[in-house]
Amino acid sequence: MFKPLLLAAGVLASVAGCATKVENPVDYVTFRNEPLVKQVDKGMSKQQVREIGGPPSTEMQRTNVEGTCNNYVLNRDGHQQPYHVSFNAAGVVDGKGFMTCEEMERHERAART
C-alpha cells in the first residue's frame, strides 16, 4: 500500500514541474532586426521614434520617474512580442526593451528595494 502512494506522489511531483509556464518568453532572434529594436537609440525624440515605429499601442505616464512610456506589439510570422520605449521628462528615449511598460516599471520598483 505504501509503494503505490509513493509512486503516485512521484508522478504528481514530476507533472507539476512540467506545468511551469514562462509568462512572456522573449524571442530576441525573430525580432532583432525590427526597426524599433534596431534603430531606436537613447537620446532620440518621441517624434523620431514615431517615424520609425509608428504610433504605439498604448502610452502611459511613468510612476517611478517623470516621463512616459510607449507600449508596442511586434508582429512577425504569426508571433507577437511586447516591446517598450521609455522617455524621460524631456521627451527623449532613456530605455527600451522586450517587455511592456508595466513590466519595466515593476522591475524598476523591485530594483530600488
Listed by start position, the domains of the chain span 25-112
Place of cell 512580442: 81
State the pLDDT at residue 23. Answer: 54
The β-bridge partners of 61 are 68
The β-bridge partners of 93 are 87
Q: pLDDT truncated to tens, each residue of the chain (113 aa)? A: 545 444 444 444 444 444 444 455 787 888 999 999 999 999 999 999 999 999 999 999 999 999 999 999 999 988 899 999 999 999 999 999 999 999 999 999 999 88
| 97: helix, strand or coil | strand
Of 95, 96, 92, 91, the C-alpha closest to 74 is 96
As its CATH architecture, domain 25-112 has: 2-Layer Sandwich (3.30)
Amino acid at 69: C
What lies within 8 Å, CB to CB, of 100 at 6+ separation is 71, 82, 84
The CB density around residue 54, as the number of other CB atoms within 10 Å, is 11
